Chains A and B, each alone.
Chain A
Amino acid sequence: MSWPGVQNVKPIDMKQFLAFVRKEFYHVFRDKKTLLLLFGLPVAQIVLFGFALTNEIKNSEVVICDYANDEASRRITGQIEASGNFSIRKHLRSHRDIEAAFQEGHTKLAIIFPARFNHDLLHLNKAQVQIIADASDPNTATTLTNFATSIIMDYQNELLEGRPLPFRIHTDLRMIYNPGLKGATNFVPGVIALVLLLVCVLMTSVSVVREKELGTMEILLVSPFSPVLVVLAKAIPYFFLSLLNLTVILLLSVTLLDMPIQGSLLLLYAVSALFILTALSLGLLISNSTDSQQSAMLMSLMGMLLPTLMFSGFMFPIENMPLPLRIISNIVPSKYYYIIVKSIMIKGLGFSAIWKETLVLAGMTAVLLAISIKKFKIRLA
């Protein structure tokens, strides 16, 4: 393989190379605001995902429109309030006020009891309740409707009490890997993938392009030092910073969020190193294809980061997506890394379970590196 720019150069001078790496480290550590992003963001994300963000639906406000106001309706209202999922915003006089309550924004659900509710229930053995959900958020609407329905069903079963049901099927349910149904188990691998990608792709591409924009690249290119190594020297600090970041995230998730690391830590670091290489080659590719920091940044942020969020599978299940998107998700490296981290960290599986994903990542790295070296220009435009 002939690397452009390498042919006429003496064998790599290790000392020179290390001097360049040191220069890059100075660049990184000098800039406190960039360090905030590098280390502040993972911490902030762990705290947010660990303690603030949840898909569970809690504290939802309901309005009650009770035309019956009898024992049964009051009882059900009491149980809805006591369930912890709901808080009752107000009691409406008329169902005509429901629309206004929804439009005002806080109310998510309305429950209507018709007149003579208890009377019908006890004497006709049949009574109606109507639930109206604000389905502009479909997820919340279905969940809340289900909650409310099951509370009402519980009340109905209470009436049956004393009459044990025959022919009962008992279901023994076990939640595997995450018995507490903690959100953290799902997102920590995602946050790792996101942060590694961010640091490597964004930071590397911007820092290379910056030299182009400021004109210092020209100085480096005319120096006797091989241009390819100039760029590689830029990638090295971010490689180590990413590993450091990984350590920070793992420490935080173990201490703060009680996350387990079931599998081999060594294996986790080894595949993470591979993923970092993939991301770095992506960063180099972007930096070789653009010549302003703004476009490098737009490409890495909007072109890389959002797809990573979307298609790695930790925010939205991939199997729900339409077919074209499922196909696209296969070219997103973080998807494979996310599977690997989940397998090692949470399921405690060994290399035999993840060799396929590892191979894909290795292949991607090779291709990306080859393209970006091919595109590397030693002449200015």
Chain B
Amino acid sequence: MRTLVFLLQKEFRQIFRNKGILRLIIALPIIQLIVMPLAADYEVKNVNISVVDHDHSSYSRRLTDKIMASGYFKLNDYSPSFEEAFAEFQKDRSDLILEIPRHFEKDLVSQSSGSLFLAVNAINGTKASVGSAYLSRIIANFNSEIRLERITPARASETPVVDVTSLNWYNPFLNYPFFMVPGILVVLVTMVGSYMCALNIVKEKEVGTIEQINVTPVRKYHFILGKLIPFWVIGLFVFSVGLLGVGRLIYGIVPAGSLWLIYAFLAVYLIALLGIGLLISTYSATQQQAMSLAFFCMMIFILISGLFTPVDSMPAWARVVANCNPVTHFIQVMRMVVLKGSGFSDIKDQFMIVSAMAVFFNAWAIFNYKKTT
């Protein structure tokens, strides 16, 4: 026990001595947590639209007015021809071209059907499908308005109507940062913890000081614990600043569930995570290697964690990979407990998986750390 206290003293001194790194560890995650949720907004709005109106009728004007009034679209230009609109399209200035053919109104009135042409820039598939769905809905509304005006009102009430009401629970204003902040916080804590931990041991290897520790009677698990605990504390600290400082004060997120539950999970999660960091460091000889390995793992962990894209939509093999990833579980738990107020019984599966990971990775790291070179 005394050995461990001395080792911890040494580690903390080394960390606090290097003010530059310490500032980076604390400041970078905080700044990113402030900025990233503002940027990470999937909501499709401000779709730029070019209108090519060959008809110049009252219907065509009404339709364009209706589109502009919806709030989703921004008029980029009225072009006289499709070619000119397409030039804007190629420059990415407009995302959508609506072409209203000549005689649109006349055809609609006399032949009871009219047609419109819609070209969508589909490079960003989500934006394309959502934007065109908005527009189709507006056109359909416009269509039923016209129909109501043309048909005698008596017939309209005969049709059976299903009245769909929808409610949004937990986040009634569909506030996106609300969803992103807990997830991004997890990723930032993960990055800081795993990198710093992985690099720390390797630095001793690279600089040669590990030899000195190896020749002392310090036990393997002493050494590993001595490396693990400081970063565990730093992880807790960064997380608290993020959740209670940035999350609460800037984004107004007050955890709906128990704070104790979140911290209990965090404690176990950090052990698992630092175990991965230690494992990486036992496999690398230089800081560059450790960084490469850590970055490779982290990039995959983060992408597949469900932070940006839903895990449910992944194919089966990817869901298996996602479930072997501690980041996935912590993001799920954070979103459940912070946003929905889920309790322990709801997250006990995740708790068990992450605890198992913590034991597994640390045992592997201790096993793999050799005191002889």
Interface residues in chain B, defined as those with a beta carbon under 8 Å from any beta carbon in chain A: 18, 20-21, 24-25, 28-29, 32, 35-36, 38-46, 48, 89-92, 108-109, 112-129, 132-133, 136, 139-140, 142-143, 146-147, 150-151, 157-172, 174-176, 178-179, 191, 195-196, 199, 203, 206-207, 283-284, 286-289, 291-293, 295-296, 299-300, 303-304, 308-310, 312-315, 317-318, 321, 332, 335-336, 339-343, 346-347
Q: How far is the CA of A135 from the CA of B178 in the complex (A)?
A: 10
Which of B39, B108, B336 has the most chain A CB atoms closer than 10 A to its own CB? B39
Chain B residues near A11 (CB-CB < 8 A): none
A interface majority secondary structure: helix
Interface residues in chain A, defined as those with a beta carbon under 8 Å from any beta carbon in chain B: 31, 33-34, 36-38, 40-41, 44-45, 48-49, 51-61, 102-105, 108, 121-122, 125-142, 145-146, 148-149, 152-153, 155-156, 159-160, 165-179, 181-183, 185-186, 198, 202-203, 206-207, 210, 213-214, 292-295, 297-299, 301-303, 306, 310-311, 315-317, 319-322, 325, 339, 342-343, 346-347, 349, 353
The answer to whether residues A136 and B288 also contact, given A126-B160, A182-B125 and a CB cut-off of 8 A, is no
Q: How far is the CA of A33 from the CA of B108 in the complex (A)?
A: 67
> Other than the known A170-B116, A186-B125, A293-B291, what 12 A-B pairs have Cβ atoms closer than 8 Å?
A55-B313, A102-B340, A127-B163, A133-B167, A169-B114, A170-B113, A171-B139, A181-B125, A210-B288, A316-B40, A349-B90, A353-B90
Q: How far is the CA of A140 from the CA of B179 in the complex (A)?
A: 11
Q: How far is the CA of A226 from the CA of B303 in the complex (A)?
A: 43
Q: How far is the CA of A214 from the CA of B206 in the complex (A)?
A: 8
Q: How far is the CA of A130 from the CA of B206 in the complex (A)?
A: 63
The answer to whether residues A167 and B113 also contact, given A41-B299, A174-B118 and a CB cut-off of 8 A, is yes
Chain B residues near A319 (CB-CB < 8 A): 46, 48
* B287 → chain A closest CB, angstroms: 5
* B201 → chain A closest CB, angstroms: 12
B interface majority secondary structure: helix
Chain A residue, CB-CB nearest to B339: A136
A125 near B143 with CB under 8 A, answer no
Chain B residues near A349 (CB-CB < 8 A): 90
B174 near A317 with CB under 8 A, answer no
Q: How far is the CA of A198 from the CA of B291 in the complex (A)?
A: 12
Chain A residues near B140 (CB-CB < 8 A): 169
The answer to whether residues A172 and B116 also contact, given A132-B169, A186-B123, A321-B38 and a CB cut-off of 8 A, is yes
B166 near A145 with CB under 8 A, answer yes
Q: How far is the CA of A134 from the CA of B174 in the complex (A)?
A: 10
A104 near B346 with CB under 8 A, answer yes
